[in-house]
Amino acid sequence: MNVNIMNVDYSTKIPNNVNLSEDRQVLKALEGWHPGYMNWWSDMGPVGFQQSLVYLRTAYSVDPRGWAKFDYVRMPEYRWGILLAPQEEDRVIPFGEHYGEPAWQEVPGEYRAMLRRLIVIQGDTEPASVEQQRHLGKTAPSLYDMRNLFQVNVEEGRHLWAMVYLLQKYFGRDGREEADELLRRRSGDADSPRMLGAFNEATPDWLSFFMFTYFTDRDGKMQLHSLAQSGFDPLSRTCRFMLTEEAHHMFVGETGISRVVQRTCEAMKAAGITDPNDIAKVRALGVIDLPTIQKKLNLHYSLSLDLFGSEVSTNAANSFNAGIKGRYHETQIKDDHRLQHDTYPVLKLVDGKIRRVDEPALTALNMRLRDDYTQDCVKGLLRWNKIISLAGYDFKLALPNVAFHRAIGEFRDVHASPEGVLVDDATWKKRRNEWLPSTDDGDFIASLMKPVRDVGEFAPWIAPPKVGIDNKPGDFEYVKIES
Ligand SMILES: [Fe+2]
Ligand SMILES: [Fe+2]
């Protein structure tokens, strides 16, 4: 019988729905990796609160209709498990040269290196974000927010387990070596950094955290969606379940930014401020002014765009042809799913101007995924702008142009304003602080980051959420700090 269990086995040390108790070799490998993981968690996971009781959800099933149960857990006792979405019967490869062939249950030899590379890159981002966010617990604006931070953190830890399972089960010795390396690299480390740029940046304050979970976790969503299409079925099933968890991370980001914007608007209104650009007056109220929120958005969006890689990429074409990494919502797209003769418009720098140029669709897959990402990002902006306009202010948050502040791809060697106007070095240097958070902006935000730990209370720069987690009331004690 195929492994197709919805419920998770909690009788083994490593909870799973992949029948680990009958897979001795992999169970042994994972048990061997476990102590190193726990060391990593205690060295690089959240600072403090490790003995606090946190109201966390844990997966007991992979049935999307009901998969999580909530309870108080000490983070080191969280049950990190291996959870794959149920196997779809008779699934076929939905794109590329092997279109229509049965999905692979084992790694095809010719694509082994390519698959391993993609799994390692995805795996590397998971612990990286935990490392980036490790100092935030101590300045949490409420117990509700602290709980959300820790929920995101333990689940990113679980995503690391998900990738490590694939490496150890399907890639033998080099898979085990890669699994160890994932615990060795460190976000921001000079000698041994994480693999992707955005995952080596600091997350110094809670506004950054919300921006990160909105924009950078959303890159993760796009990557997981593409890998969920994979012809390598275990990868597809792993990513499908990760996406279920990922939705909450982006919810934390979207509602976090909403609540900051809302609080700022309320405070401006109460104080009779009519010009949201009057930064000094707004800051005097102890809330974050909208122009500074825009700068933070500029930073995190541009860093996240870099995660999609070069607009034109033969690697992307190769992994699509191979049936390893598909497009966003591949199975819903109406075309031949091979793309041998199609083109896709790519933004390029032509004679010093930003232009759309048709490129072979296969090499333009990164660009296409990035376009899908941008469309997905816009939804949050609509909501935030609605809060601002309902409060009666004439101010719109906007995504910066793709040429703005880029380190990878077509625009890495030029400077552009957020509106997409190319500017020279001198102008960039002069105006940088208008477009990206300055040291002063950072210092101001840092000055607001005072912890609030009374039940049901919130820091004055952020509005309370509309509803509680797991439908809990406003005065619910999400974290019992002294336990
Ligand atoms: Fe993740
Ligand atoms: Fe995430």
Interval between CA 153 and ligand 2 midpoint (Å): 8
Residue 98 pLDDT greater than 80, yes or no? yes
pLDDT at position 3 is 42
For residue 359, the CA-to-ligand 2 centroid distance in Å is 32
Q: How far is the CA of 450 from the centre of ligand 2 (A)?
A: 25
Residue 219's nearest CA partner among 115, 324, 370 is: 370
pLDDT for residue 59:
87
What the block records as the tokens of 361 is: 């669709």
Residue 355 Cα to ligand 1 middle (Å): 34
Model confidence at 83: pLDDT above 80: yes
- Looking at the chain, how many residues does it have? 483
**pTM of this structure:** 0.96
Q: For residue 213, report the distance from its CA to the centre of ligand 2, in Å.
A: 7
Ligand 2 centroid to Cα of residue 83, in Å, is 16
User: What is the sign of the dihedral through the CA atoms of 120, 122, 127 and 129?
Assistant: positive
**Percentage of the chain exceeding pLDDT 90:** 94
**pLDDT at residue 170 above 90?**
yes
Residues with CB under 5 A from ligand 2 (ion): 217, 246, 249
Ligand approaching nearest to the C-alpha of 214: 2
Q: Give Cα 73 to chain centroid, integer Å.
A: 24
Q: How far is the CA of 129 from the centre of ligand 1 (A)?
A: 8
2 band by pLDDT with thresholds 50, 70 and 90: very low
The widest CA-to-CA distance across the chain, in whole angstroms, is 69
**Distance (Å, whole) CA 165 – CA 178:** 11
DSSP class of 18: S
- 307 CA distance to ligand 1 centroid (A)? 14
- Output the pLDDT for position 6: 73
pLDDT of residue 360 exceeding 60, the answer is yes
Cα(410)–Cα(374) distance, integer angstroms:
17
> Residue 15 C-alpha to ligand 2 middle, in angstroms?
20
pLDDT tens digits, residue range 422-466? 999 999 999 999 999 999 999 999 999 999 999 999 999 999 999
Ligand 2 centre to CA of 343 (Å) is 32
In single-letter form, the type of residue at position 238 comes to T
Q: How far apart are CA 116 and CA 106, in angstroms?
A: 13
Is it the case that residue 69 has pLDDT exceeding 80? yes
CA 196–ligand 1 middle distance (angstroms) = 14
Instruction: Work out the average pLDDT over 380-401.
Output: 98
Structure tokens at 326: 């598909």
Ligand 1: distance of its center to the CA of 227 in Å?
13
- For ligand 1, the distance from its centroid to the CA atom of residue 408, given in whole angstroms, is 22
Query: What pLDDT is stored for residue 5 in this prediction?
Result: 58
- CA of 127, nearest ligand number: 1
Name the percent of the chain lying above pLDDT 70.
99
The pLDDT value given to residue 8? 85
Distance CA(38)–CA(74), nearest Å, equals 13
Using alpha carbons only, give the angle 307, 118, 199 rounded to the nearest 5 degrees.
35
Q: Which residues surround ligand 1, an ion (CB under 5 A)?
A: 126, 156, 159
Cα gap 246→227, rounded to integer Å: 14
Predicted pLDDT at 10: 84
Q: Which residue is it, tokens 């990206």?
A: 436
- Compute, in angstroms, the gap from residue 460 CA to the centroid of ligand 2: 27
Query: Cα of 61 to ligand 2 centre, how many Å?
Result: 19
Compute the mean pLDDT over every residue in the chain, rounded to the nearest whole number: 96
How far CA 90 is from CA of 9, 100, 336, 426, in Å, comes to 25, 10, 20, 60
Confidence (pLDDT) at 77: 95
Cα(253) to ligand 1 centroid in Å equals 14
Distance from Cα 123 to the centre of ligand 1, integer Å: 8
CA of 158 to the centre of ligand 2 (A): 10
